[in-house]
Copies of this chain bind each other. A is one copy, B any other.
Amino acid sequence: MVKVGVAGYGVIGQRLADGVTLQKDMKLVGIADLFPTLSIRALKERGMPYDLYLVEGADKSKFDALKIPVRGSFEDLVGKVDIMLDSAPGGVGIKNKVLYEKAGVPAVFQGGEKNSVADVFFHGYANYEKGLGAKYLKLTSCNTTGLIRSVDCLDREFGIDRVAITIIRRVADPGDYHRGLTNALQIDRAPSHQAVDLMTIMPHVQATGILVHTPVTHGHIITVVAHGKAGKKITRDMALEAFKAHDRIRVVTIDDGFLGNASFFRYARDLGNPRGDMYEIGLWEDSIVESGEDIMYAVNIPQESVTIPETMDAIRASLKMQGDSASGTAETNRYLGLGKWK
């Protein structure tokens, strides 16, 4: 049983903790945070299924006042685990790394951190092997993780040499008050970092892209224009078959009721998934179209939970629990129930 700790119990941290708990070959030792946030209060109301450790600067008296039991310090937690998952706010991970290094503990960082924090910029499908035995890994961001799942899927099967993406980005998570957009679309300087990141992970693919922020909270939608390697034609049917075979891609149709990003959230809630989370990206069958040598399609990215499976993969790669992408991702998928619904 691999012992795992989670630093930062926010939107991602909570889901990492859940994800680890579902892996039968891992054990969640505890989580660390700074303030008695709503998420920590909810943990208390749930009866503390996980132990809580406090990071430096935390005021323990605030936790005591709320009768929230504290198990120890961040250092205590780091001392008890085989690997840390760091989902602290962007820029904090690099500071936490000092502790991990001191304790000789490997760590997986999330997308908010700079690439330089890690030895390997990681994706479970596209470059698992690079992560084997690596001490510090950084996951791709939510958009890039989902995007690469779909591009890697086509690339493995048919070869891809060029993609142009349009990211229609949800601007905030449900419950966010610290950021937001009201009745406006906002454009970023091109190329988007997701296109650049894709090229880092998949260096044989040329990528560019434009990102537009939209005032919604449920899932990014990305359109992808992909060019078959050396102009090789990928038909709609070829793409569809490949996507349907992937365990982390849900192929759906508009006729079935999947009208947009909010339908996926609704469906995940109706499934009874904790928090209405979904690990799979959605892919609309009705969006796949051909244009000359290009194939175009649209995917839905559940931003809060999409990186959880690839983070589990990262643990498997770093600790050499499985030796290649196929067996590593299969193990993660098995414990998360991915592909089961087909």
> Is there an interface contact between A298 and B212, defined as CB atoms closer than 8 Å?
yes
| A105 vs B170: C-alpha distance when bound (angstroms) | 48
Residues of B within 8 A of A5 (CB): none
Is A141 in the interface zone, CB < 8 Å from B? no
Residues of B within 8 A of A276 (CB): 269, 275-276
Q: Which of B162, B188, B296 contacts A210 (CB 8 A)?
A: B296
Interface residue count on the A side (C-beta < 8 Å): 84
Is A254 in the interface zone, CB < 8 Å from B? yes
User: Does more than half of chain A's interface fall in helix, strand or loop, or is it mixed?
Assistant: mixed
> Is there an interface contact between B38 and A263, defined as CB atoms closer than 8 Å?
yes
| A267 vs B218: C-alpha distance when bound (angstroms) | 17
> Is there an interface contact between B287 and A190, defined as CB atoms closer than 8 Å?
yes
- Given contact pairs A174-B183, A286-B189, A291 touches B206 in the complex (Cβ within 8 A): yes
Q: Which of B210, B254, B265 contacts A289 (CB 8 A)?
A: B210
Residues of B within 8 A of A206 (CB): 291-292
> Is there an interface contact between A262 and B187, defined as CB atoms closer than 8 Å?
no
* A143 to B: closest C-beta gap in Å: 14
Interface positions, chain A 186-217, Cβ under 8 Å from B, are: 186-191, 206-210, 212-217
Is A39 in the interface zone, CB < 8 Å from B? yes
> Is there an interface contact between A177 and B187, defined as CB atoms closer than 8 Å?
no
Seen from chain A, the residues whose Cβ lies within 8 Å of a Cβ on chain B are 14, 37-39, 41-43, 45-46, 161-164, 166, 168, 170-172, 174-177, 179-191, 206-210, 212-219, 221, 223, 225, 227, 254, 256-263, 265-267, 269-272, 274-276, 284, 286-292, 294, 296-298, 341
